[in-house]
Amino acid sequence: MSLPKEPRQLMINLMYLVLTALLAMNVSSEILNAFKIVDKSINESSKNIANRSSQTIENFKIALEDKKIIADPVKFNKVKTFMTYAQQAIDKRTEVEKQLLDYKDMIIKRAGGVDPETNDILRRDDLDAATSVMIEHDKKGPEMLSKLQQFKTAIAALVPLTEEDLTQPTKNEAMEKSLPLNFDVLPSEENKTNDWSYGNFHMVPAVGAITIIDKYINDVKNSESVVMDKLWERAFGERRRQEQIFTKYDVLVSSSSSYLLPGEKYTASIMLGAYNDKAQNLVINVNGRALPVVNGVATYSAVAAGKGEQTINVSASYTDPNDNVNKSIPSKPFKYYVGEAQATISLDKMNVFYIGVDNPITFSASGIPAGNLNYTAENCTLTKADGVNKYLVTVATGTAGKKAIIKLAGKLGDGTTKDFGSYEYRIKNIPDPYPQIANKRGGGIAASELRVQEAIFAKLDNFDFEAKFTVVSFDVTYQKKRSTELEIYSSGTQYLTGPSALKSIDEVLQKARIGDRIYFENIKAVGPDKRVRSIGSVNFTINN
């Protein structure tokens, strides 16, 4: 018997021995759970060993395609012969592994099968299932031992007795002694003859029996691995290693930018990339999400979202075949640009900035990130607004009739600056409002309705901006019915009634009768541009 070389495998074997000893003391829930944990570790170890053996066959095939080996007939025949022996080792291991799995299935069925909800043996503490299958009823224990012994002898005999010999012997005892597959049992008062079946399976709970069989499957795979090591060493004269063999090649193109504009320089690094299309446990992540890997290649696709520069972070992990340790490649950022499909219609006759209001404007330059756009302004001032590349433009009083000019430039992905030219806008005053009293612009009105009006208001219709005007003064002319006499008053506010109104104007409204005429003339108002302007008149005839 030889001890495992790998620390992980040695630890698993020691745990197995401890748990087997504990069975004789107590079958508690904790012990049953411990068996499950050990069994999981054994299965993971077995999987790694099988992967290593498969990779060794691939490496043999690659070696047989090497021109130097092909050119040496003796070497080529030697490598080919030992590759055949290595494949036989895998075949023998596969055959006995299948038989051991059949024994596992028999015990699981005898213990009630597998619970579909927990994926655990339904009666994992069943003490009769393994005893019935392996010792009393089916008596499969001696059969299992015989198959394991035959496997050990057969797989050891795949290795020739001497360094230069290519012929397989009938038996290789030295090789058998080096294999980690033994059939000793723990001595006990109940098993004085050291019966293998009794020592391994008598009154052992179902979960423990399954762990024991999985342990033997692991020993079988470890034995296969020892034989593979020796065959590789005989074929190449060196210890077997499991380097990552790169079997596929392709041209890889890497560019700092995948979105360009006319005139922008495109720069790309082009190289020959190699990869292993049968790499074990290869995981490739993009933004933390694992992608399916097919033949060593992962494909990432996503619907473009957002605008401007976008980043994806790519990382990978794999199992190093030399030490079965998971290793990783740190995350690396890759950038691309998302543009916006746009159509712009320029209304040359309506490119206007109004004095006194905030004129909203949005910059747009395809392929240029928002932070890379710059501007200069003439006859106007820009203030940043909420949103990407959004600004509010103001123009000064007194600039009506002139042109506001905005020049745009942007920094491209290659570091150069592109001039996007100048954009001109006409500067205009806000249109004049019109006066209203009682929501009317003149005509007939009831005396009672006129007397309750607070003020004259200035209205501006069909204008897209928020522009409030305030009446600052007006004149009132009052003419009685069938009289030529006129009473004229001037007000320095907009108010007709109330404490802010001129008393004489309020008195005129109070004495108005049917047929009288009242003229509100020379009405002036001030808007956002602070300019005083005349906005017309409102004339009423009292009709009620």
In a domain, 2, yes or no: no
Q: Which of 370, 404, 428 is the last residue of a domain?
A: 428
C-alpha to C-alpha distances, 369 to 263, 374, 375, 422, nearest whole angstrom: 17, 11, 14, 20
Q: Where are the beta strands (DSSP E) in 321-433?
A: 325-338, 352-354, 359-362, 373-378, 381-384, 390-394, 403-411, 417-428
Q: How many CA atoms lie within 13 A of 404 on its CB side?
A: 27
Measured CA to CA, the distance from residue 518 to residue 487 in angstroms comes to 10
Residues 95 and 15 in one domain: yes
| pLDDT at site 341 | 47
**What global pTM score does this model have?**
0.45
Residues 138 and 221 in one domain: yes
Which residue is associated with the tokens 């069994």? 39
Residues 309 and 384 in one domain: no
Quickly state the pLDDT bin for 163 (edges 50, 70, 90).
Answer: confident
| pLDDT at site 1 | 42
Residues 257 and 110 in one domain: no
Which residue is associated with the tokens 């002898």? 153
Measured CA to CA, the distance from residue 442 to residue 107 in angstroms comes to 105
In a domain, 149, yes or no: yes
In a domain, 85, yes or no: yes
Measured CA to CA, the distance from residue 27 to residue 186 in angstroms comes to 18
In a domain, 461, yes or no: yes
Residues 410 and 465 in one domain: no
Measured CA to CA, the distance from residue 105 to residue 286 in angstroms comes to 40
Measured CA to CA, the distance from residue 140 to residue 100 in angstroms comes to 10
In a domain, 395, yes or no: yes
For the stretch 351-407, pLDDT in tens is 899 998 888 888 877 666 767 788 899 999 999 888 877 888 999 888 888 999 988
In a domain, 44, yes or no: yes
Please report the DSSP string for 304-326 in residue order. --SSEEEEEEEEEEEEETTTTEE
Highest-pLDDT range among 170-179, 306-315, 320-329 = 170-179
Highest-pLDDT range among 95-104, 250-259, 294-303 = 95-104
Give the domain extent around 414: 348-428
Q: Which of 428, 458, 486 is the last residue of a domain?
A: 428
Residues 96-100, mean pLDDT to the nearest whole number: 93
Q: Judge whether 514 and 447 are in contact, CB under 8 Å.
A: yes
Number of separate domains in the chain: 4
